[in-house]
């Protein structure tokens, strides 16, 4: 029986990441708590849970990656930023009134330590990771996951990356089945090392 913790993204909720929790329920207990907090505090909170695998979407994915690195557990991250400075730079190009601009404004207000909180800094401690990213992510470019996966592999970890065609930052219903198949297949293939 595998214990999984699922973390939602900014301005989201446990109900809105049921698409990420659902495939994990086939393998055991899944906890999906309320997590409307920034990354550093989010990691501290995540570390208080007992889990074998931690999964997250967007900011929740960033929290999942760092918590997994610190606990030596498996991580699944969907549409997660690996470098918040790069994300901030990308979002700065959008005009006022756009969702991207609003997130850029939020990033501008963050203390320096939050922007420095990057999963890339923990790549050497990430041993078993599944990254899923949308080809057309309009919030966090797919390069975040590509760079992170390459870095994890270079540091001796096991990383698998899936770029989903036409998927934006938040998956739509028609993409759920693809994500479920990827997650279930990854867990089944790796369950001997669990």
pTM of the complete model: 0.97
* DSSP-derived secondary structure for 92-151: TTSPTTSHHHHHHHHHHHS-HHHHH--GGGGGGG--EEEEEEETT-SSS-THHHHHHHHH
List the CATH number of the domain containing 118. 3.40.50.1820
Give the angle 40-140-163 at the CA atoms, nearest 5°. 115
Please tell me the total count of domains within the chain. 1
Tens of pLDDT along the chain (194 residues) come to: 999 999 999 999 999 999 999 999 999 999 999 999 999 999 999 999 999 999 999 999 999 999 999 999 999 999 999 999 999 999 999 999 999 999 999 999 999 989 888 999 999 999 999 999 999 999 999 999 999 999 999 999 999 999 999 999 999 999 999 999 999 999 999 987 65
Q: Check residue 193 and give its pLDDT.
A: 67
Residue 192: the pLDDT is 78
Closest by Cα among 127, 143, 26, 124 to 80: 143
Structural domain boundaries enclosing 21: 4-193
């Amino acid at each position: 029986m595998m214990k999984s913790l699922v973390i939602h993204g900014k301005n989201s909720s446990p109900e809105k990441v049921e698409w990420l929790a659902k495939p994990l329920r086939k393998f055991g207990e899944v906890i999906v708590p309320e997590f409307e907090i920034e990354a550093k505090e989010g990691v501290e909170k995540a570390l208080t849970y007992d889990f074998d695998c931690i999964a997250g979407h967007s900011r929740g994915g960033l929290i999942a990656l760092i918590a997994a690195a610190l606990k030596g557990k498996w991580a699944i991250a969907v549409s997660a930023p690996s470098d918040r400075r790069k994300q901030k730079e990308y979002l700065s190009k959008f005009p006022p009134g756009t969702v991207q601009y609003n997130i850029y404004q939020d990033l501008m207000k963050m203390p320096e330590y939050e922007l420095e909180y990057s999963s890339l800094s923990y790549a050497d401690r990430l041993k078993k990771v599944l990254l899923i990213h949308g080809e057309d992510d309009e919030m966090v470019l797919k390069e975040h996951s590509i760079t992170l996966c390459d870095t994890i592999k270079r540091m001796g970890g096991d990383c698998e990356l899936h770029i989903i065609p036409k998927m934006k930052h938040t998956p739509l219903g028609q993409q759920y089945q693809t994500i479920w198949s990827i997650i279930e297949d990854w867990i089944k293939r790796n369950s001997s090392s669990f």
